[in-house]
Structure 1
Amino acid sequence: MNDRAEHPQVRTCVEPERTALILIDVINDMQVDGESERFARDALDAAHRIKALKSQAKAACIPAIYANDNFGQWRSDFAGVIRHCTADDAPGKPVSELLHPEDDDYFVLKPRHSGFFGTTLQILLRHLDRDTLILAGFAADVCVLFTAHDAYMREFGLFVPCDCVASVDAEANERALTLMSRVVKADIRPSDELKFEAVSGGPPTGYS
């Protein structure tokens, strides 16, 4: 029996009018003890694919939402977090600059691992009338995994393209993807297998 195929939350294709792209901690200082250089390198590889995915999604009028850690900048807004992560001494500067938000993107600042915990993400998604999420970002085995779990508990359909995430540890990255596929029924096909039909007009209006 194919448990995933029969699950009511499974999405077999991307329907733009139902979908939002959630970019998790892509504005990131990549400060990891003893692992910053390698993590930043692996994340940059994924970031190029995330950028292409975002362009494809927005062409199909799928809104992009940044769900971002504050990296200890408790007195900062999102602009302050961007400044912190694009500082010259930040290992994550290349990733953060590559995935810099555009004017029509949305954002929520998250205090912990999940994009839902202590944020307005669920309210925003309800406002945009979205019940399917594409998750991309860092790290797959922590913040992406926690966000996927909480999305599943809230009955969202999930796509987590396997080439649009990265983790400090490569094996942990693969285990997280396996868990997301098996437990929260996420579609983990690579991003070049996700097809969006471009539509006329612009992204949905909503919070700015």
Structure 2
Amino acid sequence: MGRTALIVIDMLSTYEHEDAEVLVGSVRKALPGIGVLLERARAADAPVVYVNDNFGRWRSHHGEILEAALSGPCADLVEPIEPDEESLFVVKARHSIFYETPLAYLLSQLGARRVVLCGQVTEQCVLYSALDAHIRHLDVVVALDAVAPIDAELADAALRMMERNMAAELRPSGEITFEDERAD
């Protein structure tokens, strides 16, 4: 089997983009579920990996991205879920958390065979990341109450696609566990 890693997608944001107004409401609804996942993963000593867009700032690193998000107009959406000192961080530039990032290598080094995805945007980055995880033979779980859509109808279709085409488990955050399944 293998370990389970929690992947937090694009939650460190200043929300200064075209769809921000709609997305902010969805993020507010997803925050409690993300909080539950962070608490459960940390309690189980499971890897927590924040994978975040660099917003085209090619000299940025995770500290600068976090600082910008905490200084932005929606800092209240970042503070409750900000990375702790144990959290890992991967910078991405495109929709998928795997596209031209070291995430696949990192997960293999951690012994992770199962990923729990949460964050934003359900019908974009979460969908593409679930597909890329699936084609890398990782087991995929999507936390239904911890993903934030821009378009609810497209998000519902994306979730159905993840379940049907990528064998993703769709579960509420309270039903997701992070037990270490490594053989002794």
Alignment match of 1:147 (pick from 125, 129, 134)? 129
Match of residue 21 from structure 2: 37
Does 2:84 align with 1:106?
no
Superposed CA deviations along residues 69-94 of structure 1, whole A, max 9, x for unmatched, are 01122221111111222224x3x422
Q: Partner of 1:104: helix, strand, or coil?
A: coil
TM-score by length of 2: 0.91
Superposed CA deviations along residues 87-127 of structure 1, whole A, max 9, x for unmatched, are 24x3x422222211000000100011111111110111111
Q: Percent of pairs identical after alignment?
A: 36
Alignment match of 1:132 (pick from 110, 114, 118)? 114
Q: Whole-Å Cα distance in 2 between the matches of residues 162 and 26 of structure 1?
A: 16
Q: Is the CA contact (8 Å cut-off) linking 1:22 and 1:67 kept in structure 2?
A: yes
Q: Is the CA contact (8 Å cut-off) linking 1:161 and 1:188 kept in structure 2?
A: yes
Q: Is the CA contact (8 Å cut-off) linking 2:123 and 2:155 kept in structure 1?
A: yes
- Residue 195 of structure 1: CA displacement? 3.7
Q: Partner of 1:19: helix, strand, or coil?
A: strand
Poorly superposed stretches of 4+, deviation over 3 Å? 195-198
Higher strand proportion, which one? 2
Q: Whole-Å Cα distance in 2 between the matches of residues 149 and 196 of structure 1?
A: 21
Q: Whole-Å Cα distance in 1 between the matches of residues 179 and 164 of structure 2?
A: 28
Does 2:108 align with 1:123?
no
- Residue 197 of structure 1: CA displacement? 5.2
Match of residue 194 from structure 1: 176
Letter in 2 for 1:79: G
Q: Which has the larger radius of gyration?
A: 1
Unmatched segments (≥5 aa) in structure 2? none
Q: Partner of 2:8: helix, strand, or coil?
A: strand
Letter in 1 for 2:42: K
Superposed CA deviations along residues 2-23 of structure 1, whole A, max 9, x for unmatched, are xxxxxxxxxxxxx8x5210011
Q: Whole-Å Cα distance in 1 between the matches of residues 39 and 26 of structure 2?
A: 21
Q: Partner of 2:89: helix, strand, or coil?
A: strand
Q: Partner of 1:164: helix, strand, or coil?
A: strand
Q: Whole-Å Cα distance in 1 between the matches of residues 22 and 32 of structure 2?
A: 16
Unmatched segments (≥5 aa) in structure 1? 1-14, 199-208
Does 2:76 align with 1:94?
yes
Q: Partner of 2:170: helix, strand, or coil?
A: coil
Letter in 2 for 1:42: S
Match of residue 5 from structure 2: 20
Q: Is the CA contact (8 Å cut-off) linking 1:44 and 1:94 kept in structure 2?
A: no
